[in-house]
A and B are shown apart, each in its own frame.
Chain A
Amino acid sequence: MLQAINVKKSFGETGVLKGVSMRVSRGEVVAIIGRSGSGKSTLLRCMNNLETIDSGEIRIGGEPLVTTGADGKPVYKRDRELRTLMLKMGMVFQDYNLFPHCSVLRNLVMPQTLVLRRSAEEAKSKALSLLEKVGLLEKANEYPCNLSGGQCQRVAIARALCMDPDILCFDEPTSALDPQLTHEVLSVIRALADEKRTMIVVTHEMNFARDVADRVIYMENGLIVEDGPARDVLGSSRSEAIRAFAGEANY
């Protein structure tokens, strides 16, 4: 479904991803954990084409987003083909990034009509059914500025789902929220996991990672240090590195 091969990325002098390889299969929920600055967001952003990589390869559904050319430089897909490919990916940001000038409903309808060329009615009924799913049907005509953080994040999830992505990515979807609101967002994500949606979740919520993720990836210093079933990586047999990390995190 998604594959990264030896991805390297640096900002100026500092290497942020130092050769990361991972794969995600259909229906799998993968949690990425690790200390602040270990490169989790950067990895997710590279896979969503929000950052360009220095070398390596990323494949989405078997199709290459970027490969390494003969000269060692990365070769990206271009223009239309690139945009079509990236539609397979959905992304939910830490700070929601809803469109403030659009109502909740319009936030969900506009991308469908503009990008997928769906009719207004089709887009609207899709939007309403997804709002119902995240429990915000009655907020359809509100503006984002009148919603709580948790509600905004659920709208953002619904907006991403409107585009029918094959893989949904979350970058710390709850770290701007207090515990109560965190709970409501996590239960939406949990419900998506129950539907066997393919998801990659960067999170600091250890309990969530252990309960919901099929696989956990632990990153340190731009490298994947541990990658395995959640119960192995976070379970009783966990390695020294994870033990230290999880001890510091609220575990």
Chain B
Amino acid sequence: MRYFNNPEAMIKLIAAMQDGFANTLAIFFLTLLFSIPLGMVVALLRMSRRRMISVPVSLYILVMRGTPLMLQIFAIYFAIPMLLGQNLDRMAATILAFSLNYAAYFAEIFRGGMMSIPVGQHEACQVLGFTKIQAFFHVVLPQVCKRVLLPVSNEVITLVKDTSLANIIAVSELFRAAKNEASRTASVEPLFVAGLFYLAMNGVVTLVFSYLTRRFDYYKD
């Protein structure tokens, strides 16, 4: 053992992986920031009665969920420069690919949540004179949030681990940093240290979601 029985070496290792961890956090938070609202928009478009809208959107969801995220990251990183004639920052490409991919998963979760709201809720809004937009924001969305919490937490936990896929286009995130240290020092221990980081992050995610679940416990439906 090189690190786990040597606090000084461990501290150095962690310092060396610090930037990688920061990038992992950036991918994680920016992906959530973009993919959740985008997922809501995709869900609404997917539910459109106009086939001109719903069919292409279904296709988008199929492609995003039906092909490897790794491939999508490659595709965006290499295809966009070819289309636009301009290079894309590695980090930007990663976040774009992750956001588009996760939006598709979130969209299906949100769609399920919205379809589970009884028609009676919409009818009550209508007879009370709500506009569609008022009904959505004041009646549907708050109830959907409660109903989708559990499936969303699953996706968020998966996202924490998926951030490691960014290393295939050489984004220096946590896993890549650990791999570098591992090969530099010919030890597998840095990889396990990275594993503990992912685990800790997901510990926090779990705590946040159990807090949110309690926050929504004030009513039952």
Contact = CB atoms under 8 A, between A and B. Distances in A.
Interface string B154-165: 000000000000
Contacts of A116: 129
Contact of B127 (A50, A98, A110): A50
A165 to B, nearest CB: 9
Interface stretch (A28-36, A83-91, A205-213, A235-243): A83-91
A159 interface: yes
A144 B218 CA distance: 11
A159 B129 CA distance: 12
**Interface class of chain B by DSSP:** helix
Contacts of A145: 219-221
A115 B128 CA distance: 8
Contacts of A89: 127
A83 B131 contact: yes
Contacts of A244: none
Interface in A102-129: 110-111, 114-116
A143 interface: yes
A97 B120 contact: yes
Contacts of B130: 111, 114-115
A134 interface: no
B146 to A, nearest CB: 7
Contacts of B128: 111, 115, 159-160, 163
A50 B126 contact: yes
Interface residues of B, number: 21
Contacts, number: 61
A100 interface: yes
A83 B129 contact: yes
Contacts of A163: 128-129
B200 interface: no
Contacts of B121: 97, 99
A93 B219 contact: no
A163 B129 CA distance: 9
A191 B216 CA distance: 37
B219 A100 contact: yes
A70 to B, nearest CB: 27
B89 interface: no
Interface stretch (B48-56, B59-67, B137-145): B137-145
A97 B129 CA distance: 14
Contact of B124 (A49, A97, A101): A97
Contacts of B127: 48, 50, 86, 89-91, 160
B19 interface: no
A83 B126 CA distance: 9
A95 interface: yes
A50 B219 contact: no
Contacts of A110: 138
Nearest to A84: B129
B120 A115 contact: no
Nearest to B129: A115
A50 B221 contact: no
Contact of A86 (B129, B139, B142, B218): B129
A91 B218 CA distance: 27
Contacts of A111: 128-130
A127 to B, nearest CB: 13
Nearest to B141: A101
Contact of A49 (B126, B139, B220): B126
Given A90-B127, A97-B123, A144-B219, 6 more contacts: A86-B126, A101-B219, A110-B138, A115-B128, A143-B218, A163-B128
19 contacts: A49-B126, A83-B131, A86-B127, A86-B129, A89-B127, A90-B127, A91-B123, A91-B127, A93-B120, A93-B124, A95-B120, A100-B143, A100-B219, A100-B221, A101-B142, A101-B143, A115-B134, A145-B220, A163-B129
Interface of A: 48-50, 83, 86-87, 89-91, 93, 95, 97-101, 110-111, 114-116, 143-145, 159-160, 163
A-B CB proximity, top 5 nearest: A97-B124, A97-B120, A115-B129, A91-B127, A111-B128
